[in-house]
Amino acid sequence: MFSHRLFNIVIAIALIALIGITAQEVSATAAVISPISPSNTVCASLPSHFSIHTEYVEGTGTWMTFTEDGPTGIDGGLIHLLSNRRNCSQ
């Protein structure tokens, strides 16, 4: 009889811990993900995703990526642009 009660207590503790962890993850996710409003100036200031293109620069003899605003730059400029775009798309 004692082992049956002990088993029920262990199951109850495991369920309470599982509910606590789930509630913690839900609250953490809700804090991180916020709805994107039309007034979000960071997303509005990014150039159009479709304006990204490459051009051959004769002065350097290389291909560079450009947007409607000009070159994306070197040292990760395009990667930074695309990572920002990922945050704005929903």
Rounded to the nearest integer, the mean pLDDT of the chain is 75
Q: What are phi and psi of 65, to 5 degrees?
A: -90, 140
Closest C-alpha to 50, from 66, 33, 28, 32:
66
Percent share of the chain, pLDDT over 70: 59
Model confidence band, residue 5 (pLDDT cutoffs 50, 70, 90): very high
Query: Cα separations (Å) of 61 from 53, 64, 72, 76, 88?
Result: 17, 10, 17, 19, 34
Would you say residue 87 has pLDDT above 60? no
Q: What is the 8-class DSSP label of residue 17?
A: H
The pLDDT tens digits of the residues spanning 11-55 come to 999 999 999 999 988 888 777 765 555 545 666 666 666 777 788
Q: Is the pLDDT of residue 61 over 70?
A: yes
